[in-house]
């Protein structure tokens, strides 16, 4: 479901944050598997916060993997990030 309009998000028109962190005390934990229509990204009230948190996360060196933020590429399921390395938090 889209975090903006609560409608079902189709694969072709959606964006998903995927799995970000297993650390429940990390601010990005709340954004795990957030899905949105790509058209609604800019209307998402938390987009700027999310973007900032992701930038900090990447800059902190705790994240190693493909880019998290949406690009202009076609939608890719979170599956493609399953092999990335997580160094944050406890197991
Ligand atoms: Zn939507």
Whether this model's pTM surpasses 0.85: no
15 C-beta neighbours (distance < 10 Å), count = 21
The structure tokens listed for 74 are 């076609």
pLDDT in tens, 21-39: 999 999 999 999 999 999 9
Q: In angstroms, what is the span from residue 61 Cα to ligand 1's centroid?
A: 32
Let me know if residue 4 belongs to a domain: no
Let me know if residue 5 belongs to a domain: no
Closest CA to 85 of 62, 64, 58: 64
pLDDT at 85 over 70: no
Let me know if residue 32 belongs to a domain: yes
Let me know if residue 28 belongs to a domain: yes
Let me know if residue 79 belongs to a domain: yes
The count of domains in the chain is 1
> Element (H or E) spanning 37, and its range?
strand 35-37
Q: Which residues are placed with Cβ below 5 angstroms of ligand 1, an ion?
A: 2, 4-5, 37, 40
pLDDT of the residue at 91: 44
What's the mean pLDDT in 11-23? 89
Let me know if residue 45 belongs to a domain: yes
pLDDT of the residue at 4: 96
- Tell me the residue range of the domain where 25 lies: 11-86
What's the mean pLDDT in 73-82? 46
Q: In angstroms, what is the span from residue 35 Cα to ligand 1's centroid?
A: 9
Q: In angstroms, what is the span from residue 11 Cα to ligand 1's centroid?
A: 12
Let me know if residue 6 belongs to a domain: no
Let me know if residue 3 belongs to a domain: no
**Residue labelled with tokens 């979170």:** 78
């Amino acid at each position: 479901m889209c975090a903006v309009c609560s409608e079902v998000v189709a694969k072709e028109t959606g964006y998903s944050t995927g799995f970000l962190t297993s650390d429940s005390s990390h601010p990005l934990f709340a954004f795990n598997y957030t899905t949105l229509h790509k058209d609604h990204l800019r209307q998402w009230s938390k987009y700027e916060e999310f973007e900032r948190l992701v930038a900090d996360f990447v800059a902190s060196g705790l994240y190693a993997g493909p880019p998290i933020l949406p690009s202009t590429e076609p939608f890719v399921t979170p599956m493609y990030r399953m092999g990335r390395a997580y160094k944050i938090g406890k197991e």
